Chains A and B, each alone.
Chain A
Amino acid sequence: MRFVLKTDYHRDSDLFRDRVQFSWYAALFIFVLCLPIVSGTYVESQLTTVFMWSIAGAGLMILVGYTGLISLGHAAFLSVGAYTHAIMLDLGVPFFVSIPLAMVLCSALGVVVSIAALRMTGIYLAIATLAFAMIVEKIVKNWSAVTGGNAGFKVAPPELFGWELNSTAYYYFCLLVLTLVMLCVSNLLRAPTGRAFIAVRDSEISAQAMGINLLKTKALAFAISAALTGLAGTLLAYQWHYLFPDSFSMLTSIQLLMLVIIGGLGSMSGVVFGAIFITLLPDGIATVREWLPDSIGNLPGLEPLTFGLLLILVLIFEPLGINGRWQKMRLFFSQFPLYRNKTLKRQKSFLRTERVH
């Protein structure tokens, strides 16, 4: 076990606990940086997908993991981001203009949704966001003059000053965006704004007593969340080349939610774990399909079934997700042989203020 000697209040605001932790992250970054040199295009494109899902997941994590609001409609922001970006590219707007514009549009949309949705909590909020996602899906489907409808919309390839980015360059581009997103989100979470989110998550009543404006804070969380998910959408548009309304269905929303829950609610590393999991899962299912007898292997519903089953199992057996498991493993080794099974068990508390609601 390492102990950190703090001699300065700034140490508590630092991103990394100590040099050792910083070195691990630096090593990971260098590894990811060098990977395309040795790996094939398959690994490269899979990792690019992981980066994109991580960005979208970071957006949803702020909402679900840090502000305690659930959303079943985040595919809508993905879709709005992707389509806005693709349409603007089509009009000849360069990507470094169209991506921020798509993000602004998404966050504005997020605020609009939040105004309608924030009078609700829990399951009602989930259903409201689901309804919103369906509305967006229908609009995209039927407004074919702009979105191309079911025929799809072709996305112009990524270009920078007349150079077309190849897949390796695009990999680095996504890595850069992900790094910036992770930095910004971590900054937010160690500053007053992020603390306000956490306060709203843990106790709305005492957040108010601390002078935090609930509606404003929730709307802000929605706006940031929608902007980041929209950003992921713009990147996905490049990756997919063609956009179809069905690419952003309810299943996508659930996949995103699954990403943050399986990754581990309330942690940014959980987002990356979840994104890796989500990216590898379809391939895993495809492999398993081949082993299974045809009668089961060819069932069309196998994928959603596996998603749902895994989500339930994680919620029952490891509510803190992959990140929680990872933390426990680290604790086990750092305290070996003194680790107790109940170390991280939460004490049930029945003493909440029921009188104020």
Chain B
Amino acid sequence: MFEVVRLSKHFGGVTAVHEVSFSVNEGEIFSIMGPNGAGKTTVLNLISRFYDVDEGTIQFAGEDITHAPPHEIARKGIARTFQNIELFERETVLQNLLIAQYIHRKTNIFSDLLFLPRVRRQEAQSRRFLEDIIDLLHLQRYREQQIHSLPFGVRKLVELARALCLKPKLLLLDEPSSGLNPEETEDLSFWIEDINKELGVTIVMVEHDMNLIGQVSNRVLVLASGRSIALGTPVEVKDHPDVISAYLGT
């Protein structure tokens, strides 16, 4: 369903990602792990096209998206979250989620200007869809609150909810557990499984927390210094000699 072939990215003389290849099957939870500076986030940024790919190709649902503009990625069915949260801070949770409905809109600027009945209908329809996501992630009590008044853990959830509101086929999570306490991480693992099973969304996540990876993911790719050193089930990868040496040094 999703395939990355020999992906490379250089920043000046630094090779951030070097010939990384992997493919993700439909319905899978695929994790990318590795020590700091291994190029995990760079891979996600390449997939969401915030960075230009130097070499290699990215295929999604039988389509080459290596050179698609960044705003087209969401329309193709790929949503993402950010490690350090990129929400629209001055808006309420509800408004943040509604923004994710932008790509599904059927009205144009002129009908918006006049707020024609079909814009109103579309708004109500968006709301009905959003409420399902809000119910799924238990965000009901935060609906009308502004982002900057929310605690960090809730913001992470809102960002996850916003990504889901795009109705994605593939969800990219950039360190979903960073900044969360153990209980929140525990909850997160259930949610990730729910999202995967109930909504049928394929998930690629960059993660540090080995417990979380072990609980939810089907396969793990380990990166170190921009190269892929191991690929397999969480158990296989954990005992891989190259992985141990990448984390602990030789």
Contacts and interface: CB of A to CB of B under 8 A. Distances in A.
Contacts of A187: 112-115, 119
Contacts of B107: 191-192
A221 B184 CA distance: 40
Contact of B89 (A13, A193, A195, A349): A349
B48 A209 contact: yes
B71 A191 contact: no
B99 interface: yes
Contact of A196 (B51, B69, B99, B166): B99
Contact of A195 (B72, B98, B166): B98
Contact of A184 (B41, B86, B114, B148): B114
A351 B124 contact: no
Interface residues on A, range: 35 or more
A12 interface: yes
Give the one of A184, A208, A346 with max B CB within 10 A.
A208
A295 interface: no
A206 interface: yes
Contact of B71 (A193, A198, A211, A355): A211
Contacts of A209: 48, 70, 73-74, 79-80, 82, 86
A191 B88 contact: no
B154 interface: no
B8 to A, nearest CB: 18
Give the one of B50, B86, B90, B122 with max A CB within 10 A.
B86
Nearest to A200: B88
A215 to B, nearest CB: 9
Nearest to A220: B109
Interface string B33-51: 0000000010001001011
B103 interface: yes
Contacts of B71: 208, 211-214
A214 B86 CA distance: 16
Interface residues on B, range: 35 or more
Contacts of A353: 82-86
A13 B112 contact: no
B75 interface: yes
Contact of B50 (A9, A193, A201, A208): A208
A202 B91 contact: yes
Interface string A181-204: 000100110111111101101110
A198 B94 CA distance: 13
A352 B86 contact: yes
A184 B113 CA distance: 5
B225 interface: no
Given A355-B45, A356-B45, A210 B100 contact: yes
Nearest to B152: A351
Interface string B138-152: 000000000011000
A352 B213 CA distance: 25
A352 B84 contact: yes
A12 B94 contact: yes
A341 interface: no
A314 B170 CA distance: 46
A190 B111 CA distance: 12
A10 B124 CA distance: 6
A106 to B, nearest CB: 16
Contacts of B113: 184, 187-188
A198 B45 CA distance: 23
Contacts of A110: none
B124 A356 contact: no
Contact of B166 (A9, A199, A211, A351): A211
B128 to A, nearest CB: 7
B133 interface: no
A206 B74 CA distance: 11
Nearest to B110: A193
Interface in A324-357: 346-347, 349, 351-356
A203 B50 contact: no
A208 B70 contact: yes
A351 B99 contact: no
A60 B208 CA distance: 46
B67 interface: no
B41 A355 contact: yes
Contacts of A220: 109
A347 B148 contact: yes
Contact of B86 (A191, A198, A205, A346): A205
Interface of A: 9-10, 12-13, 184, 187-188, 190-196, 198-199, 201-203, 205-214, 220, 266, 346-347, 349, 351-356
23 contacts: A9-B124, A12-B123, A13-B115, A13-B120, A187-B119, A190-B123, A191-B112, A191-B115, A191-B119, A192-B105, A192-B107, A194-B112, A195-B98, A196-B99, A202-B89, A202-B91, A211-B74, A212-B71, A266-B90, A346-B148, A353-B86, A355-B41, A355-B83
Q: Return the 6 tightest CB-CB contacts between A and B, nearest first.
A: A211-B74, A191-B112, A206-B86, A211-B103, A202-B88, A187-B115
Given A191-B112, A346-B148, 13 more contacts: A10-B123, A10-B124, A12-B127, A187-B119, A190-B115, A191-B119, A199-B102, A209-B86, A210-B102, A211-B75, A220-B109, A351-B84, A356-B50
